[in-house]
Amino acid sequence: MNDSNDLLSALRAAVGAQQVLTHEDPATDLAAYEQDWRRRHRGRALAVVRPGNTAEVAAVVQACAAAGVAIVPQGGNTGLVVGSVPDASGQQVLLSLQRMNRVRALDAANLTLTVDAGCILQAAQQAAEAAGLLLPLSLAAEGSCTIGGNLASNAGGTQVLRYGNAREQCLGLEVVTPQGEVWDGLIGLRKDNTGYDLRDLYIGSEGTLGIITGATLKLQPQPAAKLTAWAALPSIEAAVELLGLAQRQLGAGLTGFEAMSRFSLSLVDKHYPQLRVPLWQDHPWCVLLENSDSESEAHARERFEALLEAALEQGCVSDAIVAESLGQAHNLWHIRESISLAQSEEGLNIKHDISLPVSAIARFCAETDAQLAAEIPGVRLVNFGHLGDGNLHYNVQAPEGGDPAAFLREQESRINHIVFDSVRRHGGSISAEHGIGSLKAETLPQYKHPVALALMRRIKAALDPQGLMNPGRVLIQEPR
Amino acid sequence: MNDSNDLLSALRAAVGAQQVLTHEDPATDLAAYEQDWRRRHRGRALAVVRPGNTAEVAAVVQACAAAGVAIVPQGGNTGLVVGSVPDASGQQVLLSLQRMNRVRALDAANLTLTVDAGCILQAAQQAAEAAGLLLPLSLAAEGSCTIGGNLASNAGGTQVLRYGNAREQCLGLEVVTPQGEVWDGLIGLRKDNTGYDLRDLYIGSEGTLGIITGATLKLQPQPAAKLTAWAALPSIEAAVELLGLAQRQLGAGLTGFEAMSRFSLSLVDKHYPQLRVPLWQDHPWCVLLENSDSESEAHARERFEALLEAALEQGCVSDAIVAESLGQAHNLWHIRESISLAQSEEGLNIKHDISLPVSAIARFCAETDAQLAAEIPGVRLVNFGHLGDGNLHYNVQAPEGGDPAAFLREQESRINHIVFDSVRRHGGSISAEHGIGSLKAETLPQYKHPVALALMRRIKAALDPQGLMNPGRVLIQEPR
């Protein structure tokens, strides 16, 4: 108890008393920090600490390291794998980056943007836009997620096909190490071969190797026009064929390729009829395509129409529309983004964020669909996702009329095994873009190559020998 | 001596006696393995070992680890920083990947190519081309460098602007660890967030953390047309302005942007007059641009001409030609690629492979040119490179008529300091694409952030505690 008080005093000295929130003050509600986004877990923090700059982050980490107290870093707390909330012990310090939300610099000639880690993604997008440039990281939570969280989890989203994950959009990092040192790696260089790639080691490490406090991101020129099309397809094989055709004909112009099964669209139609989902009833799959053009809208439309005509002729597309206005394009994207919500309206479900070689997608779906249907009669599959990246959200909904809570209790573990075993057989990954967090930390060793896992453990032990950075995430403790 | 003999026996058992070459056999010439590409260093190996597959590599590493003998991995031995030849001790094992040169698999629907690490870059390019696809890694040494070496050194080249370094073109790796375990990470996935990014840690680690034995690379659709233009410019500021304009107007179509100073072109003109360098005499800079188009040659030409007209109007281009034929385009690229050779014809020189934020290039050149001219009268600067990536080959040639060897002896260290200090002031890197090797290992600690250097040392010690993997490269031993 005295130890805790000493630490709290040190934290208050580091960031100011009003930026150290504890349960001792009954007026303070820490739910927003302690409850995870999907409401899978509610933890209890020793304290929520809100540093205002990098030096304060370093001071907080030093104080915790000296006290041997674990730190859970948190950005917008929108992660999907329970990676940024404290455990139930009441002994962990929650370090929120929210106050560090500044845009530090924009260099238009170098096409770079440097921000604090707590900068909201949307604010970073807007800073780029204000300079006539594009930050092409885009995901559903962009109004509340932070750049630091995006990088710690190597976020994906809808434009990975063209611009890559968060990793590919980052040139430099500022990091506070588990010892409380500051590594200033905020470079704005496309090429730098001066040693090990620490940047990419920190990106995707989910706060287990240190705390990202700032980042320099790549920007892109704004395309002259961006058009959206909606195509109905006879099968998922056809979707893979259309993807290849679109990549050949549009080249880098193809900036979005989202596939949606009929059942996933039927849920949007059922729960949000006002969205008027087009073409879904008579076709097993629909695909949303985006074409970004550096020339003109007329050119974008001409290229898009040529693609869709060729696809109709080949038979991989049965019907298609190109959005005539920004409003119509926005509505089509809104349908795509409403699938998760419609699924929640339908009831509890089991989410899988998997990736596969594009060439294995159709076979994976056929085999896994059949196996699930055989083993769990009536099971409903909500299959949609970033097909252009091989990334499916292969979600499983309870049979119609059943009790979803009981279904999850009884079937979740078995269904996960069926899906993940099939993913492995087809050369895929059990976490494409959401990460591991604590939700999948126990599953990971069953599917990760043992040598890779051993290398990860060595790196963790080398950089965080006290094991205080976001413990229990990504790597669970080895049995001693 | 007995220890060496035991090890040699173990190596012969691992790979077959005829794949273990030593100086004991007077008929065997090991120069090709022991001499570095730029002839800066000639080492002496205990043995040259040539495994034929990954299991044999693992067996060799295990034998060396058991004997406590260091290993120097080598691909095509075309590196520029003395990173792949043994030291002079006669105690290191040179592990050549040359026999592992197969293309393992090509997956056209997934746009991936899996190869042995010893596969020659050109052979990999040709395998892609035979399937109608593009492997867009391209560099001068492509006829002899290997994919493993490209990845170990994170090679750059002329298309980084559009497709990224070797790092961005690799999805998966197979690696033999310093303990002789095999990590099979040959995935063909665009998204995989299941733990630390070991792939990118090994890429660019120059053989100091283990041996890359195989890789899965990203392929691209072949563009429908590729055109080359040559523009003459009034200044390097104008080159930066042209780059911005080209990025806006051509978008991802801009696949090459190489700048060449008048003096660098004058050397090509002097030593290879048959190449007929265009437009160089009356303009301080020339730029080679490449436009890749997914539509047609006519469209590519129209867009290219529109760009150059706009640039002429803005004044950032003084004169320009668009190549009318493949032959003419090839000749223009040949001029660019002949600068290094022309420089060698002119005499010994000091090479700098630096990168800068694009926005800092003009200022860097003005300041550094002036400082060198003031401190070393008559010094000649051969300045050219991948301006689109901020990467300059800022090379320094002895004053005309002087003794180049004496110049290097007396001035190299001083000139390096002037250039690298200026690079640091402008936020740049002292090694953009060549790496560190042993050539820059002693310089690195002066310019690398100390926290980054400490993190690198921790990782090295964690993964290679015996210090046997390519010792003395990247990180020199810490004073004990």
- Give B2-96's CATH code, choosing from 3.40.980.10, 3.40.50.970, 3.30.43.10, 1.10.3720.10: 3.30.43.10
User: Closest partner residue to A463 among B112, B295, B458, by Cβ?
Assistant: B458
Question: Nearest by CB to A294, which of B161, B253, B436?
Answer: B253
DSSP single-letter state for residue A429: B
Cα distance between residue B471 and residue B468, in whole Å: 6
Chain segment B161-189, per-residue pLDDT in tens:
999 999 999 999 999 999 999 999 999 99
Work out the average pLDDT over A238-253: 96
Does A192 contact B358 at a Cβ distance shorter than 8 Å?
A: no
Rounded to 10 degrees, what is the CA torsion of B96, B98, B99, B104?
A: 120
Q: Are strands A170-176 and A211-218 parallel, antiparallel or unpaired?
A: antiparallel
Q: How many CB pairs under 8 A join A and B?
A: 276
The two beta strands, B170-176 and B225-233, are: unpaired
Q: Do A195 and B249 touch (CB under 8 A)?
A: no
For the beta carbon of residue B66, count every other beta carbon within 10 angstroms: 12
Flag whether pLDDT at A97 surpasses 90: yes
Closest chain A CA to residue B202: A196
Tally the residues of chain A. 480
The C-alpha atoms of residue A233 and residue A250 are separated, in whole angstroms, by 19
Predicted confidence (pLDDT) per residue in B190-239, tens digit:
999 999 999 999 999 999 999 999 999 999 999 999 999 999 999 999 99
> What's the rounded mean pLDDT across residues B15-23?
97
Give A3's pLDDT tier (boundaries 50, 70, 90).
confident
pLDDT of residue A477: 73
DSSP type of residue B448: S
The one-letter amino acid code at B163 reads Y
What confidence category does residue B39 fall into, taking pLDDT thresholds of 50, 70 and 90?
Answer: confident
Kindly state the tokens that stand for A228: 């959206």
Intrachain domains A2-96 and A103-221 with the same fold: no
A360 touches A399 (CB < 8 A): no
Residue with the two structure tokens 């040949």: B334
With an 8 Å Cβ cutoff, is A453 touching chain B? yes
Beta bridge partners of A45: A92
Residues of chain A with Cβ-Cβ distance to B359 below 8 Å are 107-110
CATH architecture of structural domain B103-221: 2-Layer Sandwich (3.30)
Task: Please say whether the beta carbons of B307 and B245 come within 8 A.
Answer: yes
* Class in CATH terms, A347-425: alpha beta
What's the confidence (pLDDT) of residue A369? 97
pLDDT single digits (tens) A353-388: 999 999 999 999 999 999 999 999 999 999 999 999
In angstroms, the Cα distances linking A295 to A300, B324, B457 are 8, 23, 48
Q: Residue B237's closest chain A neighbor by CA?
A: A109
Q: Which stretch of DSSP H or E encloses residue B92? A: strand B92-96
Residue of B196, B211, B352 for testing the chain A interface, max A β-carbons within 10 Å: B196
| E-assigned strand segments in A380-427 | 380-386, 391-397
A183 close to B (CB below 8 A) = yes
**Type of residue at A10:** A
Extents of the domains making up chain B: 2-96, 103-221, 225-340, 347-425
Nearest alpha carbon to residue A286 among A154, A384, A174, A178: A384
- Phi and psi (nearest 5°) for B327? -60, -45
- Contact in structure between A176 and A182 (CB atoms under 8 Å): yes
Residues of A (135-174) whose Cβ lies below 8 Å from B = 153-154, 156, 160-162, 164-165, 167-168
Which tens digit of pLDDT belongs to each residue from B103-158?
A: 999 999 999 999 999 999 999 999 999 999 999 999 989 999 999 999 999 999 88
The pLDDT value given to residue B289: 98
Section B50-76 average pLDDT: 98
Average pLDDT, chain B: 96
C-alpha A422/C-alpha A392 separation (Å) is: 13
Q: State the DSSP string of A212-236.
A: EEEEEEE-EEPPSEEEEEEEEES-H
Which chain B residue's Cα is nearest to A303? B295
- pLDDT(B456) > 90: yes
pLDDT of residue B478: 61
* Of A93, A2, A102, A87, the residue nearest A49 (C-alpha): A93
Which pLDDT score is estimated for B86?
98
Contact residues for A303 (Cβ-Cβ < 8 A; gap 6+):
A249, A250, A253, A291, A293, B295
Distance CA A312, CA A320 (A): 9
Whether B31 and chain A come into contact, CB under 8 Å, resolves to no
Question: In this structure, what token pair is assigned to residue B390?
Answer: 């901020």
Strands A92-96 and A71-74: parallel
A216 touches chain B (CB under 8 A): no
- The encoded tokens of residue A445 equal 């060793």
Cα B176 to Cα B20, B58, B64, distances in angstroms? 19, 6, 13
The interface predicted TM-score (ipTM) is 0.97
Contact predicate B140/B160, CB 8 Å: no
Q: Which residues contact B370 (CB under 8 A, 6 or more apart)?
A: none
Residue B238's SS3 state is: helix
DSSP-assigned letter for residue B429? B
pLDDT at A478: 61
Amino acid code (one letter) for A131: A
pLDDT digits (tens, 9 = 90+) for B312-339: 999 999 999 999 999 999 999 999 999 9
Q: Outline where DSSP puts E strands in A198-297.
A: 211-218, 220-221, 225-233, 254-261, 285-293
- Over residues A193-236, the pLDDT tens digits come to 999 999 999 999 999 999 999 999 999 999 999 999 999 999 99
H/E element, A56: helix A54-67
C-alpha B215: how far from chain center: 17
Which residue of chain A has the CA closest to B218? A357
Q: Which of residues 287-306 of B touch A (CB under 8 A)?
A: 292-295, 303
Question: What is the CATH architecture assignment of A225-340?
Answer: 2-Layer Sandwich (3.30)
Does residue B480 register a pLDDT over 50?
no
Q: φ and ψ at A107, to 5 degrees?
A: -115, 100
What average pLDDT does the segment B63-72 reach? 98
For A204, the closest of B110, B165, B196 (CB atoms) is B196
What are the chain B neighbours of A455 within 8 Å (beta carbons)? Answer: 177, 183, 196, 198, 463
d(CA B349, CA A199): 33
Of A189, A436, A460, the CB nearest to B355: A189
| pLDDT tier at A416, thresholds 50, 70, 90 | very high
Q: How far apart are CA B363 and CA B371, in angstroms?
A: 12
Quote the strand ranges of B244-318, DSSP E.
254-261, 285-293
Nearest-angstrom CA–CA distance, A221 and A135: 9
Query: Mean of the per-residue pLDDT values for chain A?
Result: 96
Q: pLDDT of B233-271, one tens digit each?
A: 999 999 999 999 999 999 999 999 999 999 999 999 999
Taking CB atoms and an 8 Å limit, are A110 and B189 in contact across chains?
Answer: no
